[in-house]
């Protein structure tokens, strides 16, 4: 994912996880001219008395006076068909999905369609997913994510909501779109319109950490503050929102690229503020899958087990509060080992023995 420069808003607040679940798994329809609740119910649901219930659910009293661009939330359980809202770009390692709560987990595969309401669980694996036309996410290892809402109505942009129960997700929303994208965690909500950022849900701490790679952030949690690109913020349940913290600069590699056989060592300049570094190994190409995430306590990384081929290394420094810094990329190609050179045969060792053998045969 590339850095994109655009403004977005991230609202963080401490709230009940159970209360958020009450509005989970809604399909969002963005009203077009001429739409009514009656027509929407006929087209998308088979629920008796739907148009009345839908009006109450969305706090709409005048069925025929709905303004174009209004979001209408329809519970997934009412729909004739569960909408497909995304496609899996690539998968690495063990990642599973469930279509409905209680259903059997199934392996996630590249090229697979993602349905609204799907629950994604990564263990040692990762997955890149395209959502709608304007958003892409990377689900990192040891994460639990549900696709809660997705809207239609392209003329007015799309609305998407993800629920990150635990783990980490990276989000990229195209800045030229008018789409709204939200990531909910047990302790925070991140709402964006075009940018790239990371959200980490730390269940053991009941906290959320956000790291902004591009864009301007307005943080609200009883008060409001602006967080520019290159800063992070942490929200913890029951505590005041922390002040924005400057993210560490991207590591500076000592080489522009590496083309060498294994074993090899990747080095970068030391940062005295960093306690460690993370290096992600991606398959070659812009959309290559995440193959591994490696940690180092020194400004270097020894690589000994990669297959021959080309990769992208993406490194970032980590400070003492756990915030991950800005990223730097290094192209790397692992070459075949050099051929083993055979030493020339020394005939001076053999000739005396041949001469002695010949003399014996003559005698």
> What is the predicted pLDDT for the residue at 355?
61
The CATH fold assigned to 248-363 is Immunoglobulin-like (2.60.40)
Indicate the pTM of the whole model.
0.81
How many CB atoms are closer than 10 A to CB 242?
17
Average pLDDT over residues 229-235: 92
Question: 127, 170 in Cβ contact below 8 A?
Answer: no
Domains of the chain, by residue range, sit at 17-33+68-246, 248-363
Taking each continuous run of H as one helix and of E as one strand, the counts in the chain are 4, 26
Alpha-carbon distance of 341 to 346, in angstroms, equals 15
Question: 332, 312 in Cβ contact below 8 A?
Answer: yes
Report the run of H or E that residue 39 belongs to, with start and end.
Answer: helix 37-44
Alpha-carbon distance of 147 to 86, in angstroms, equals 10
Alpha-carbon distance of 40 to 28, in angstroms, equals 11
Alpha-carbon distance of 209 to 206, in angstroms, equals 10
- Segment among 55-69, 125-139, 178-192, 295-309 with least mean pLDDT: 178-192
16: three-class secondary structure by DSSP = coil
Does 248-363 match 17-33+68-246 at the fold level? no
- Range 17-33+68-246 has CATH code 1.10.10.10: no
> What is the predicted pLDDT for the residue at 17?
32
Query: pLDDT band at 236, cuts 50/70/90?
Result: confident
Q: Has residue 147 got a pLDDT over 80?
A: yes
Q: Has residue 16 got a pLDDT over 70?
A: no
């Amino acid at each position: 994912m590339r850095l994109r420069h655009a403004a977005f808003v991230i609202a963080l607040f401490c709230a009940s996880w159970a209360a958020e679940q009450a509005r989970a798994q809604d399909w969002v329809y963005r009203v077009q001219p001429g739409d009514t609740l009656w027509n929407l119910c006929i087209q998308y649901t088979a629920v008796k008395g739907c148009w009345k219930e839908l009006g109450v659910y969305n706090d709409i009293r005048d069925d025929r006076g709905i303004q174009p661009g209004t979001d209408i939330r329809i519970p997934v359980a009412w729909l004739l068909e569960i909408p497909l809202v995304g496609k899996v770009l690539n998968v690495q390692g063990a990642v599973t999905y469930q279509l409905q709560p209680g259903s059997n987990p199934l392996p996630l595969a590249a090229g697979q369609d993602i349905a609204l309401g799907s629950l994604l669980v990564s263990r040692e694996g990762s997955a890149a997913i395209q959502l709608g036309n304007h958003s892409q996410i990377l689900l990192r290892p040891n994460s639990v994510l549900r696709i809660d809402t997705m809207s239609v109505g392209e003329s007015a942009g799309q609305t998407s909501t993800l629920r990150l129960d635990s783990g980490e997700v990276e989000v990229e929303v195209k800045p030229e779109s008018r789409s709204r994208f939200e990531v909910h965690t047990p302790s925070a909500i991140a709402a964006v319109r075009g940018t790239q950022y990371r959200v980490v849900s730390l269940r053991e701490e009941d906290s959320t950490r956000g790291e902004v790679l591009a864009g301007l952030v307005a943080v609200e949690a009883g008060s409001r503050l602006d967080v520019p690109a290159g800063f992070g913020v942490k929200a913890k349940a029951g505590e005041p929102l922390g002040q924005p913290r400057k993210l560490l600069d991207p590591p500076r590699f000592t080489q522009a690229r590496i083309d060498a056989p294994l074993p090899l060592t990747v080095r970068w300049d030391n940062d005295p503020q960093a306690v460690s570094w993370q290096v992600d190994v991606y398959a070659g190409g812009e959309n290559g899958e995440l193959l591994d995430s490696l940690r180092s306590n020194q400004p270097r990384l020894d690589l000994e087990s990669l297959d021959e081929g080309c990769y992208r290394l993406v490194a970032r420094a980590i400070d003492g509060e756990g915030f991950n810094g800005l990223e730097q990329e290094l192209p790397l190609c692992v070459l075949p080992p050099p051929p083993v050179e055979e030493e020339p045969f020394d005939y001076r060792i053999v000739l005396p023995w041949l001469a002695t053998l010949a003399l014996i045969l003559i005698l």
